[in-house]
Amino acid sequence: MCDSTAVFFRYDVTDPGERYGGLPWDPFKAIVAPRPIGWISTLSRDGVVNLAPYSYFNAISDKPNQVYFSSSTRKDSQRNAEETGEFVCNLASYPLREQMNITSAEVDRSEPELAGLEMMPSGVVKTPRVALAPAALECVYLDTYTCKARDGRPAGHDLVFGEVVAVYVDDAYVGADGRVDSGAMQAAARLGYDEYTAVDRVFRMVRPDRSMFEFIA
């Protein structure tokens, strides 16, 4: 049963008037939010720098630290990572939101040049990082997985996996206690539609352990 005041729909509905429960757009991306943005820099085999934001991006493990980004169609970021064996995840921050957005355009020139962004050499990999980004993860390419729909057909998206081999953090964002200040970095994140947000509030919580519940009968 569904609340009569709620929106409910199925993706297998064929009637256009019932699609998305009467909503004008699919709310999926607005619900799976906020999504961190992987601002991925790569080098082509010819040495051209490519830079593009991916909102289907995240960490998948630590020890070792591994990440992925998801590409719809085999774009330059995926192709370059597979061909050169490396990429860099730059932290897209609120102050760099306009430049980040510019680099989402599909153009026939280097995106950092288009956005007026200076690139800096990385510490380990050949791919450069965004100079003004508060932090960057230097990655070695691991593998690509082609996603499939539930009927087995290709879904049109690939997951590109990498292992972090080096980390850069601007020391302006490292506190006296040695913690990286996520709130100060103002990481940008993707919502639904044309909406974004930024980390502007941080709180701490102690993860409970068994001893905290021993009083419960």
Sequential pLDDT tens for the chain (217 residues)? 455 688 998 988 888 878 888 899 999 999 999 999 999 999 999 999 999 999 999 999 999 999 999 988 888 999 999 999 999 999 999 999 999 999 999 888 899 999 999 999 999 999 999 999 999 999 999 999 999 999 999 999 999 999 999 999 999 999 999 999 999 999 999 999 999 999 989 999 998 888 777 765 5
- Give the model's pLDDT for residue 146: 95
Which is it for the CA torsion 68, 70, 71, 73, positive or negative? positive
- Give the model's pLDDT for residue 73: 82
Closest CA relative to residue 37, chosen from 53, 22, 20, 50: 53
Closest CA relative to residue 53, chosen from 30, 21, 76, 27: 76
Give 42: exposed, middle or buried? Use CB within 10 Å, 0-12, 13-18, 19+: buried
- Give the model's pLDDT for residue 81: 98
- Give the model's pLDDT for residue 4: 66
At residue 143, φ and ψ (nearest 5 deg) are -170, 165
Please give the model's pTM, rounded to 2 decimal places. 0.92
Closest CA relative to residue 93, chosen from 151, 50, 136, 33: 136
- The token duo for 1 is 């049963």
CATH topology for 36-191 is Pnp Oxidase; Chain A (2.30.110)
For the chain, the structural domain boundaries read: 36-191
Please, are residues 177 and 125 in contact by the beta-carbon 8 Å criterion? no
